[in-house]
Amino acid sequence: DAGVIQSPRHEVTEMGQEVTLRCKPISGHNSLFWYRQTMMRGLELLIYFNNNVPIDDSGMPEDRFSAKMPNASFSTLKIQPSEPRDSAVYFCASRSGLDEQYFGPGTRLTVT
Amino acid sequence: AQSVTQPDIHITVSEGASLELRCNYSYGATPYLFWYVQSPGQGLQLLLKYFSGDTLVQGIKGFEAEFKRSQSSFNLRKPSVHWSDAAEYFCAVGSYGQNFVFGPGTRLSVLP
């Protein structure tokens, strides 16, 4: 298996632009997680899905952030409009049942 | 409330020395415990996990961890540290159907 796939790996955008991050979980996994990592805040859970349904989005910073999982093999995290404080590394992870979470390589987002 | 504490933000050890990273948790249900490692610029990789049974678990790269229920701890150990072990280490706790709670991480530096 190729593991969790995230794209793009790096994204540089200007303040106010829309940013879409993509994730393909490991096939057969039924839970998907979006995290944000910064030096100041560490690793933060933004949202997670079970069987494509959002279970807990309490970590989503504000309405500018939205996440979707239209099917078991694809999820997006969208920021509109983006701000410099959104600069971070965004990780996607997936899990099957009780198993551990498998992390993707991350997307490094820079908003100027 | 569920929480994980890693009391040491940064630890420095000499190559060849032994290592112990501390992890304490507060969790209402039967906890499942994990240690992850993150090398610079990389995603998180699972080192080891504890679900049940023998309280001393072996992981990859020569790491081990011991679950002590009475102390609510799951400390990570390695008898002889290698320079390539320099990284960030995260302890996490979860249970079936629940999201993981990650600790803030401990950054390990290794002196030659």
Q: Residue A6's pLDDT is what?
A: 97
- Pairs across A and B, CB distance < 8 A: 39
Average per-residue pLDDT in chain A?
A: 94
Alpha-carbon distance of A74 to B43, in angstroms, equals 19
Asked if residues B48 and B60 have their Cβ atoms less than 8 Å apart, the reply is yes
From the list B11, B62, B42, B78, the residue with the least C-alpha distance to A106 is B42
Alpha-carbon distance of B90 to B21, in angstroms, equals 10
Q: Residue A97's pLDDT is what?
A: 77
Asked if residues B69 and B76 have their Cβ atoms less than 8 Å apart, the reply is no
Q: Residue A25's pLDDT is what?
A: 97
Residues from chain A that touch B43, judged by Cβ atoms under 8 A, are: 4, 91, 103-106
DSSP-derived secondary structure for B14-79: ETTS-EEE--EEE-SS--EEEEEEE-TTS-EEEEEEE-SS-SEEE-GGG-EEEEEGGGTEEEEEES
Q: How confident is the model at residue A109 (pLDDT cuts 50, 70, 90)?
A: very high
A42 contacts B44? CB cut-off 8 A: no
From the list A92, A104, A105, A112, the residue with the least C-alpha distance to A32 is A92
Closest residue of chain B to A49, computed from CA coordinates: B99
Q: Residue A5's pLDDT is what?
A: 96
Does residue A84 register a pLDDT over 70? yes
**In 3-state terms, what secondary structure has residue B112?**
coil
Each residue's pLDDT expressed in tens, for chain B with a length of 112 residues: 788 999 999 999 999 999 999 999 998 777 899 999 999 888 999 999 998 888 999 999 999 999 999 999 999 999 999 999 999 999 999 876 677 889 999 999 999 9
